[in-house]
Amino acid sequence: MRRTGLYLLLAVTAAAALVWGQRERLAPARQIPTWEYRTLAPEELGRGRYQQASWDKVQALGAQGWELVGVTPWVIRNDEQAGSMDAPPKVVTQNYVAYYFKRQRPMER
C-alpha cells in the first residue's frame, strides 16, 4: 500500500511538472509590440555637397508619431577641393547631424 501511494505521488508530481512546462503553449498569445525605425540624414545635393536635415522635417515626423531616440554627428570628409597645382589638395570636413526615430507598429488583429 505504501508503494502505491509513493507511485501515485510521483505520477501526480510528473503530471504537474508537464503542465507547468507547457504553460507558455497553453496560455493565450501575448501581444508583443514591434517597432519601426527611421533615419533622417543629410541629403546629398551633388558631388561633395550636402544639406542639413531641416528642423521642420524632424517636427513633421514627431507629429506622425515618430519618437526621436538618437542624434549623432554625421561628419563628411571632402578631399576633392583642389588647391593650386603646387600645393596639396585642401581637406574640407563638413559636420552635420543625423536623427534616429522609432514608433510602435500597429498591432495586427
Over the stretch 86-99, which tens digit does the pLDDT of each residue have? 766 666 777 889 99
pLDDT of amino acid 56: 94
pLDDT of amino acid 68: 95
> Which cell numbers hold the place of 6?
509513493
Over the stretch 45-64, which tens digit does the pLDDT of each residue have? 877 678 888 899 999 999 99
Question: Which amino acid is it at 89?
Answer: P
Print the domain residue range for 100.
33-104
Please report whether residue 76 resides in a domain: yes
Q: Which residue has the higher pLDDT, 102 or 106?
A: 102
Please report whether residue 64 resides in a domain: yes
Q: What is the CA radius of gyration of the chain?
A: 30
Please report whether residue 43 resides in a domain: yes
Q: Give me the number of domains the chain comprises.
A: 1
| Residue 11: pLDDT over 60 | yes
Please report whether residue 14 resides in a domain: no
Please report whether residue 15 resides in a domain: no
User: What residues contact 34, with CB distance under 8 A and at least 6 apart?
Assistant: 104, 105
How far, in Å, are 52, 73, 105 from residue 101 at the CA level? 17, 15, 13
Please report whether residue 86 resides in a domain: yes
Please report whether residue 79 resides in a domain: yes
Please report whether residue 18 resides in a domain: no
